[in-house]
Amino acid sequence: MKPLRVSLAEKRFGDTTALAGVSLELEAGELLALLGPNGAGKTTLVRAIAGRVRLDAGRIELGGRLAEERGARDVLGVVPQDIALYGMLTPRENLELFGRLHGLGGTALSDAVGWALGWTGLEDRSRELVKTFSGGMKRRLNIAAGVLHRPRIVLLDEPTVGVDPQSRERIYEMLTELRREGASLLLTTHQLDEAESRCDRVVIIDHGTVVGAGTLAELVGRLFGGRRTVVLTLDRAPEMPLPGLELEPGERTARAMLGDAVDELPALLGRVRAAGFEVEDLALHRPGLGAVFLALTGRELRE
């Protein structure tokens, strides 16, 4: 039984099609990245899973139950991108409030708040006003407020936006702990490097449909096979195009996609030298998630 299954989800807003038959599954204990350009349908899909949008067609199952069934969404935790905290309250007061909204009370609430303060590393700041906190501290507390009831499925919308690298690492340590305890996480992000290095699988949607899904290795294999990107640093910026190379205007860096680096690279270097340039540095890269994303959507991922 999958923690989350979305089947042929459709949603229109007037003449605009937000979802045109999206299907995806979240595996137990998985961290799944949901990616797509602005307007691709990510937000509508997440809101539909959370119960904020009613689908026109299709179905959503949570833990094997239809999401519309009474109590089905009790297993769900939602962490919004916007900080949903009260600045004039302390972390403890915020957590007690959100805990009650999640249906906790008495000893269960006290235990959950104590766990959350330890989990976020905010025990020593538990009686200070949240408005005095850094962005990273607020992000950690924001996540805790959405998972106090220890949900089995967690929706995270840009959980690391606007935080420094140290805070980002701490947040992912928190998410890893949730997964060890059995939670399954669906994460939307504009940080392709995070999705590439942190997530088990990715689902890419565009124009309301899934255009790619799988592990990074699976997607790269399907789209690029054994091809590699070669990046050359030349001794000067070319003023004219060089055959077979992509150039950035005014830059010394040139790129090319090679089907067989061993066979094709010597010829490429020969053409560069014949054009009067020296190669100061060379690097070979397997295509990453950025290349996959652009190949599938034709657009850069922007906020």
Q: Which of 220, 250, 270 is the last residue of a domain?
A: 220
Q: What are the CA-CA distances from residue 162 to residues 82, 136, 168, 184 (Å)?
A: 11, 8, 9, 24
Query: Does residue 302 lie within any of the structural domains?
Result: no
**Is the pLDDT confidence value at 299 over 80?**
no
Q: Which of 3-17, 131-145, 260-274 has the lowest mean pLDDT?
A: 260-274
Q: For residue 35, is it within any domain?
A: yes
pLDDT reported for residue 261: 83
Domain final residue pick, 202, 220, 238: 220
Instruction: Classify residue 298: in a domain, yes or no.
Output: no
The CATH number given to whatever domain includes residue 150 is 3.40.50.300
Predicted pLDDT of residue 298: 85
Residue 214 lies in a domain: yes
Instruction: Please determine, for residue 247, whether its predicted confidence score (pLDDT) is greater than 90.
Output: no
The verdict on 157 and 257 lying in the same domain is no
pLDDT higher than threshold 70 for residue 302: no
CATH code for the domain of 238:
3.30.70
Same domain, 236 and 196: no
Residue 81 and residue 215 share a domain: yes
pLDDT for residue 213 is more than 90? yes
> Which of the listed residues 164, 193, 220 is the one where a domain comes to its end?
220
Asked whether residue 295 is assigned to any structural domain, the reply reads no
Q: Say if residue 145 is in the same domain as residue 91.
A: yes
210 and 246, same domain (yes or no): no
Least confident of 52-66, 79-93, 132-146, 217-231: 217-231
Full DSSP string of 151-163:
-SEEEEESTTTT-
Task: For residue 291, tell me if it sits in a domain.
Answer: no
pLDDT band at 241 (very low <50, low <70, confident <90, very high): confident
Range of the domain at 277: 227-285
- Virtual torsion, Cα 257, 261, 267, 269, nearest 10 deg: 80
Same domain for 135 and 53? yes
Do 118 and 245 share a domain, yes or no?
A: no
Q: 87 to each of 50, 92, 149, how far by Cα in Å? A: 25, 12, 22
Same domain, 190 and 261: no
Residue 157 lies in a domain: yes
For residues 39-51, give the mean pLDDT: 95
Please indicate, yes or no, whether residues 186 and 151 belong to a single structural domain of this protein: yes
Q: Which two tokens stand for residue 30?
A: 């998985």
Indicate the number of domains in the chain: 2
- Residues 206 and 270 grouped into a single domain: no
In a domain, residue 121? The reply is: yes
Query: pLDDT value at position 301?
Result: 52
Both tokens of residue 94?
Answer: 């915020």
pLDDT of the residue at 300: 56
Tokens of 48: 């539909």
What is the CB-side half-sphere exposure of residue 224 using CA atoms within 13 A?
25
Q: For residue range 80-117, what is the model confidence (pLDDT) as tens digits?
A: 999 999 999 999 999 999 999 999 999 999 999 999 99
Q: Is residue 231 domain-shared with residue 152, that is, in the same domain?
A: no
How does pLDDT run across 201-210, given as a tens digit for each residue?
999 999 999 9
Record the pTM.
0.87
